[in-house]
């Protein structure tokens, strides 16, 4: 896609669940290299938007293009391989596995070894496993978890588990990273660390869509913010302008 074009574009996205319009004709345009905030009260459709963008749900109507190519109707693994990675609102790690193994799961797409290579421990598998492990360790260091590589995921403090999810998502080498409330439940020092990591991700040229309730995180990180309320986009723009928008204030006050 051309440099000036948005990386991701959604037009008229409608998502019905029975009688409920969880998303009601939402347009979204995500600029390349930006951190784009998606905010709104509980139940406003933020996670649904993420699920639609990543192929978990097929929208009832509307168009979504990523790098000029339609996303609608493709499987979530196909969309992930095309460059959209995500984390979930609730941590989804393999608790019994180590931090390193969790990232290796994220890297598995780039392995060419088949099951036979793995069970026969072919040289190809040995090579890929070695390279994969080095890369996984690099990703763990990137999010500050280098020292904890061999800890079981479920034994990591909650804040570290959230960072591990980010490392696993980055293993896909995404061009777009979607984060669903990454700061939820984190302590103030954890949040500071998270902010620095998200900035570092963006500085590596990865575009970020950030769903977040912590306004200081949104204000500090986002270039643009879109606001959803009852499935509709009610405001969009620079963080400071959005924060003082009367419609946004009313939505958050439960108007
Ligand atoms: P947010 O992430 O902004 O808090 P969600 O996108 O999770 O909101 O939910 C938006 C609305 O859609 C809510 O009313 C929610 O109950 C509803 N919803 C989300 N997923 C489903 C589903 N799979 N089936 C039925 N309703 C759903
Ligand atoms: Mg949500």
Domain ranges across the chain: 31-47+69-83+174-255, 91-171
Reported as a single tens digit per residue, the pLDDT across 25-38 is: 999 999 999 999 99
CA distance 247 to 226: 12
Copy the structure tokens of residue 85. 């990675």
Secondary element (H or E) of residue 81: helix 76-81
Q: Are 100 and 136 in contact (CB under 8 A)?
A: yes
- Which of ligand 1's atoms lies nearest the C-alpha of 44? 3
Asked whether 22 lines ligand 1 (CB < 6 A), one says: yes
Asked whether 19 lines ligand 1 (CB < 6 A), one says: no
CA distance 7 to 4: 9
Reported as a single tens digit per residue, the pLDDT across 103-126 is: 998 887 766 766 666 677 788 878
Q: What are the CA-CA distances from residue 173 to residues 48, 92, 115, 235 (Å)? A: 23, 19, 23, 31
Instruction: State the average pLDDT for the chain.
Output: 93
pTM over 0.95? The answer is no
Q: How much is the pLDDT for 128?
A: 80
Q: What single DSSP character describes residue 191?
A: H
Buried b or exposed e, range 78-93, using 16+ CB within 10 angstroms? ebbbbbbbbbbeebeb
How many A from CA of 90 to the centre of ligand 2?
9
CA distance 173 to 203: 14
Of the candidates 201, 195, 144, the one whose C-alpha atom is nearest the C-alpha of residue 176 is 201
Secondary element (H or E) of residue 37: strand 35-39
Angle at which helices 123-142 and 99-107 cross, to 10°: 120
Q: What are the CA-CA distances from residue 162 to residues 95, 154, 216, 242 (Å)? A: 12, 11, 18, 27
> Coil, strand, or helix at residue 131?
helix
Q: Are 195 and 220 in contact (CB under 8 A)?
A: yes
Considering every ligand atom shown, identify the ligand nearest to the alpha carbon of residue 44 and give its number: 1
Asked whether 42 lines ligand 1 (CB < 6 A), one says: yes
- Which of ligand 1's atoms lies nearest the C-alpha of 40? 3
Reported as a single tens digit per residue, the pLDDT across 210-224 is: 999 998 999 999 999
Of the candidates 20, 13, 106, the one whose C-alpha atom is nearest the C-alpha of residue 51 is 13
* End-to-end C-alpha distance for the chain, whole angstroms: 41
Averaged pLDDT for residues 143-168: 97
Which one of 3.50.50.60, 1.10.8.50, 3.40.50.300, 3.30.950.10 gives the CATH number of domain 31-47+69-83+174-255? 3.40.50.300
Q: How much is the pLDDT for 9?
A: 98
- Which of ligand 1's atoms lies nearest the C-alpha of 49? 6
CA distance 43 to 234: 14
Considering every ligand atom shown, identify the ligand nearest to the alpha carbon of residue 40 and give its number: 1
ipTM over 0.90: yes
């Amino acid at each position: 896609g051309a440099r000036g074009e948005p990386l991701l574009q959604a037009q008229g996205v409608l998502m019905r669940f029975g009688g409920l319009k969880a998303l009601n004709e939402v347009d979204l345009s995500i600029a390349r290299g930006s951190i784009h905030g998606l905010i709104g009260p509980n139940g406003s459709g933020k996670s649904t938007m993420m699920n639609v963008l990543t192929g978990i749900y097929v929208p009832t109507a509307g168009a979504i293009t990523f790098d000029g190519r339609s996303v609608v109707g493709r499987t979530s693994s196909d969309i992930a391989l095309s460059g959209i990675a995500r984390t979930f609102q609730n941590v989804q790690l393999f608790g019994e596995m180590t931090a390193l193994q969790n990232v290796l799961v994220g890297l598995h797409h780039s392995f060419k070894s088949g099951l036979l290579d793995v069970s026969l421990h072919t040289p190809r598998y040995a090579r890929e496993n070695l390279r994969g492990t080095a890369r996984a360790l690099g990703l763990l260091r990137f999010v500050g978890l280098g020292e904890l590589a061999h800890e079981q995921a479920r034994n990591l403090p909650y804040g570290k588990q959230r960072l591990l999810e980010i490392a696993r998502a980055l293993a896909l080498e995404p061009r777009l990273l979607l984060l669903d409330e990454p700061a939820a439940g984190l302590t103030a020092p954890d949040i500071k660390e998270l902010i620095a990591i998200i900035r570092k991700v963006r500085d590596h040229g990865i575009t970020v869509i950030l769903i977040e309730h912590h306004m200081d995180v949104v204000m500090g990180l986002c270039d643009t913010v879109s606001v959803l309320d009852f499935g509709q986009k009610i405001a969009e723009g620079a963080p400071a302008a959005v924060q003082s928008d009367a419609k946004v204030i009313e939505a958050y006050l439960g108007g």
